[in-house]
Amino acid sequence: MTVITTRGLTKRYGPVTALDDLSVDLAPGVVGLVGANGAGKSTLIKILLGLLPPTSGTVEVLGLDAVAEGEAVRARVGYMPEHDCLPADVSATELVVHMARISGLPPTAARERTADVLRHVGLYEERYRLIGGYSTGMRQRVKLAQALVHDPDLVLLDEPTNGLDPAGRDDMLGLVRRIGADFGISVLVTSHLLGELERVCDAVVVVDGGRLLRSSSTADATAQRSVLAVEVDARTGELAAALRAAGLQVDGDRVLEVALRGAGPADEPAYDLVRDAVAHLGIGLLRMERRRHSISELFRPAEEAPGVRA
Amino acid sequence: MSVPDVPARSAGVIHDLGFRHYDGPRLGRRQVVRALFVESTRGAYGLGRSTRSKIMPFLLLAAVTLPALVVAVVLNVTGTASLGIGYAAYPISVLPLLSLYVAGQAPALVSRDLRFRVVTLYFSRPLRREDYVRAKLAALACATAVLTCLPVLVLYAGALLAQLPFWAQTRAAAVGLLGCLLLSMLLAGIALVIAAVTPRRGLGVAAVITVLVMLTAVQGILQALGQDQGNAGLEHWSGLLSPFTLVSGLQRWAFDAPLEDLPDPPGALGGWVYLAVALAVLAGSYALLVLRSRRVSVS
Amino acid sequence: MTTIEVEAVSRWFGNVVAVNDVTMRIGPGVTGLLGPNGAGKSTLLNMVGGFLPPSTGTVALDGRPTWRDEQIYRGVGLVPEREGMYEALSGAELVLANARLHGLPDARGAARRAIDAVEMSAAADRPLSTYSKGMKQRIKMATALVHDPAVLLLDEPFNGMDPRQRMQLMDLLSQLGEQGRTVLFSSHILEEVEQIAGSIQVMVAGRHAASGDFREIRRLMTERPHQYVVRSSDDRALAAAVIAGGSAFGVELRADPAGGGALHVQAADVGRFSHALPVLAAQHGVRLFEVAPEDESLESVFAYLVER
């Protein structure tokens, strides 16, 4: 069961190709979209919302044909734009209630759901003040609230952490996670920051120059590698020598990289060898952990990246 | 799960305050558009907004209605045989106030939405661009109609109270009200188009006022010029230039309204030309607004 | 080789104190200037670049104050955050114009080298209006590099760049740092800073909160116990041993959401704990699978610095 399905989705504006034969299946949960440059991303969003017909190819959102049934799609989807889109002279409550009404909610439901959703996004007394005086973090929350108020089945979040400082970023990512996990709403989130996506997404779609580069679950993209990173506080060279003498393959300088056999942890001699060598040398073990792959590797050719479908 | 030998205590409950899904009714397109229309109309008088936004509209409403009230009272007190001012002529006499009103409200209705790209939030919902434009046009037209019609109704009430001839007054008032409605629609269209293309709200207000004042002034000059030079064509076609005289011209042509100082559509076709121009302005404003709304990108 | 010296600098705008008594020294290599929004990073960069005078204190490059010294611009390249470019020009024309403005003897050659350095040679002849945000950023960098400055100042350079563009820019900045230039860039996206900044300067609400390598900074934060996560073949036994040994004052056995479990340790003294752990594990025959500090990330360090 996919939330979004595209087949051969192409969009050209004269000589410029924004999307090029894009075929993806996005499962329910939190999916990250990364890498698309400005034109490709905004084009894709417009097409998903049924506001722009593609040059060729098909696109299905929540089982509906986005081209033919655009209005029905927009009724079930919430959208949080990246750009500024909030009026300055109304309060958060007024805006979200109004947008709830435009989504078709009757007045009482609009008011009640607005109050609830503003609580969920973390706006308390501020909700009665005019939006003009809000900080970036509060504005992002209002944008998110209006996307959620009508209980959509899918939300499109366009760079939700844009302009937020690290604490605000953390909060927003936590919210995105909750929307996917607790609220039971599927999420498509775009971001340029791979670390964020690794934290929050179940799957990641990498688009480059309008074409699909890679599509993978986050678990696969961040799977453990067969390398053990070891960091000690002194005599690193001697440790490396001792481990090599014991038959291990060791690379690295300040942080040693010990090759693992790739067998299960019970059969892996490296762990005990490292432990004992460190204890024997009387040095401090600052870190010992298996390295993981990262999403940034998806930007490189297929042979180097682990377990993904191209 | 009762435990028989334990003394009963009141049970504690923790309610689930998680995200609630919505299974209730979702209203269709018509009701949604109506909700937008109602909210915009109310907003044009500052209802549902801050107190500050109520000041100008209500002040103007009072200013527009007051003279009519005075006339009505004087009429009843002095017992003269006719209203000093015709129903059809009233809007022109308060022309500046009407211009001020649409100039103030049109930007409030659309500049903000278009400039701050709030329309992104509208168009990513099941609301068509045409629906949005229709709702906004209708809202400003209705709001302006209140402003134009209220004084007419006050005069009419005064006339009836003074027991002026019923049918004559009713007919004249009806002509006046029709004119008010058409005028409201024309002003709404012109003001919204100008507001939609000016980037800032303050600029929008100034632009609308400037345009309306200019049109009125040019029309007046051409009319006077025509009269001076005995050029009836100039004098009477000049009425096409300003929405106010467009409406009054139509009232003269269709209903013989007593508007002697204002242009009269000349010849057999004059009235039809006036009508065509009025309809063109209405259709044109709608089309331009839809075009403008298309230029706002949702993403 | 140029050192930026900021000495007891404050800068106020009316009652707003953007930079409050900041002293720092920034040498060659890549340094990240971090802080929440409104911390004063842009203001500080503008002062270093000589675009703004400090209200008190001095900002100097190798001993020469930056304010009102046109010669400074020979050695400094500034890449501001805001756009403001002449859209009708092509990238090549813009860089060339800058080269000429600097009065370089071989303006064309310098422009070409700068454009090659930012990998914009292919698109250089197209008008700026056709550029994406990332491309505009790179051309801005080329204009800042054309006179081969020893100091490069960048205000939020990665803003809006997609991952590939960002990686390219990071590589470029790392290269420049390795060439011995002093590269100072501001950001509040920690994952970017972590990857290329050799050292960081942290500002919070106009004050200078910390400087140096962020791992070192973490170790300096002694009043905050270090958190470690340990996965082993027998977490309970290990927990008991660690507590009994006294190298940690708190342990917590927590189930993993992904399955299995882990031991979370709070240690006051990193040195003591890191020495004791492998020894205890070996003594009790416990196999260690993972030993990792939980709060040593730049993010964690930063959060702590901001809270103070």
The CATH code of the domain that includes C285 is 3.30.70.2190
Domain that holds residue C263: 224-307
Quick one: C29 and C126 in the same domain? Answer: yes
Beta-carbon pairs below 8 A across chains A and B: 114
Range of lowest pLDDT (A277-291, B2-16, C98-112): B2-16
Are β-strands A154-158 and A77-80 bridged in parallel, bridged antiparallel, or unpaired? parallel
Quick one: C100 and C133 in the same domain? Answer: yes
Query: Of C221, C254, C279, which one is at a domain's C-terminal end?
Result: C221
| Interatomic CA distance for residues A36 and A191, integer angstroms | 9
Query: A79, B124: Cβ pair inside 8 Å?
Result: yes
Only one residue has tokens 């305050």, namely B17
Quick one: C100 and C239 in the same domain? Answer: no
Quick one: C154 and C201 in the same domain? Answer: yes
Which pair of tokens denotes residue C185?
């860039």
Q: Is residue A108 a contact partner of residue A127, using CB atoms and an 8 Å limit?
A: no
Q: What is the pLDDT of residues C212-232, one digit of tens each?
A: 887 777 777 767 788 899 999
Tell me the residue type at C184: L
C-alpha dihedral (B250, B251, B257, B261), degrees to nearest 10: -50
Q: What pLDDT, on a 0 to 100 scale, did the predictor assign at position C1? A: 64
Q: What pLDDT, on a 0 to 100 scale, did the predictor assign at position C216? A: 77
CA distances from A283 to A242, A271, A277 (A): 13, 16, 9
Going by C-alpha positions, the residue among C180, C118, C182 that lies closest to residue C146 is C118
Quick one: C203 and C242 in the same domain? Answer: no
Query: B32, A79: Cβ pair inside 8 Å?
Result: no
Q: What is the pLDDT of residues A216-264, one digit of tens each?
A: 899 888 888 889 999 998 899 999 999 999 988 899 888 899 998 876 7
C-alpha dihedral (C267, C272, C278, C282), degrees to nearest 10: -110
Number of domains making up chain C: 2
ipTM of the modeled complex: 0.86
| Interatomic CA distance for residues C150 and C136, integer angstroms | 22
- DSSP letter for A91, please: B
Q: What pLDDT, on a 0 to 100 scale, did the predictor assign at position A118? A: 95
**Mean pLDDT by groups of 10 residues along chain A of 310 residues:** 92 89 93 82 92 94 94 94 89 94 94 95 92 93 97 96 86 94 94 89 89 88 90 91 90 89 78 92 92 82 45
A182 touches B: beta carbon within 8 Å: yes
**How would residue B244 be classed by pLDDT, with cut points 50, 70 and 90?**
very high
Quick one: C207 and C250 in the same domain? Answer: no
Which of A285, A290, A296 to mutate to test binding with chain C, by most C CBs within 10 Å of its CB?
Answer: A285
**A134 versus B114: which is more confidently predicted?**
A134
Going by C-alpha positions, the residue among B184, B153, B180 that lies closest to residue B169 is B153
**B233 versus A96: which is more confidently predicted?**
A96
Which pair of tokens denotes residue A32?
């990250």
Query: B116, A88: Cβ pair inside 8 Å?
Result: yes
Q: Is residue A134 a contact partner of residue A145, using CB atoms and an 8 Å limit?
A: no
Quick one: C154 and C239 in the same domain? Answer: no
Quick one: C19 and C63 in the same domain? Answer: yes
Q: What pLDDT, on a 0 to 100 scale, did the predictor assign at position B132? A: 94
Q: What is the pLDDT of residues C231-281, one digit of tens each?
A: 999 999 999 999 998 888 899 998 877 677 899 999 988 889 999 999 999
Quick one: C142 and C8 in the same domain? Answer: yes
Q: What is the pLDDT of residues C237-247, one digit of tens each?
A: 999 999 998 88
Q: What pLDDT, on a 0 to 100 scale, did the predictor assign at position A68? A: 94
Only one residue has tokens 């041993």, namely C241
Quickly count: other Cβ atoms within 10 Å of residue B221's Cβ: 12
Quick one: C60 and C129 in the same domain? Answer: yes
Query: Of C174, C202, C221, which one is at a domain's C-terminal end?
Result: C221
Q: What pLDDT, on a 0 to 100 scale, did the predictor assign at position B4? A: 54
Quick one: C22 and C117 in the same domain? Answer: yes
Interface of A with B in 149-168 (CB under 8 A): 150-151, 158
**B93 versus B2: which is more confidently predicted?**
B93
Which pair of tokens denotes residue B198?
């000016």
- H-only helix segments in chain A: 38-48, 70-76, 92-102, 107-121, 136-148, 166-181, 194-200, 218-221, 236-245, 270-281
Are β-strands C199-204 and C29-34 bridged in parallel, bridged antiparallel, or unpaired? parallel
**How would residue C83 be classed by pLDDT, with cut points 50, 70 and 90?**
low
Q: What pLDDT, on a 0 to 100 scale, did the predictor assign at position C190? A: 81
| Interatomic CA distance for residues C221 and A158, integer angstroms | 37
Quick one: C211 and C187 in the same domain? Answer: yes
Q: What pLDDT, on a 0 to 100 scale, did the predictor assign at position B284? A: 96
Give the closest of B18, B49, B126 to A75, CB-based: B126
Indicate left, alpha or beta for C205 from its phi (over 0: left) and psi (-120 to 50: alpha): left
The CA distance from A136 to the nearest CA of chain C, in Å, is 9
**B81 versus A41: which is more confidently predicted?**
A41
Query: Of C193, C221, C249, which one is at a domain's C-terminal end?
Result: C221
Q: What is the pLDDT of residues C135-161, one digit of tens each?
A: 788 888 888 888 888 899 999 888 777
**What CATH code is carried by the domain that includes residue C167?**
3.40.50.300
Tell me the residue type at A196: E
Q: What pLDDT, on a 0 to 100 scale, did the predictor assign at position A307? A: 44
Query: A165, C164: Cβ pair inside 8 Å?
Result: no
Which pair of tokens denotes residue A8?
């051969």
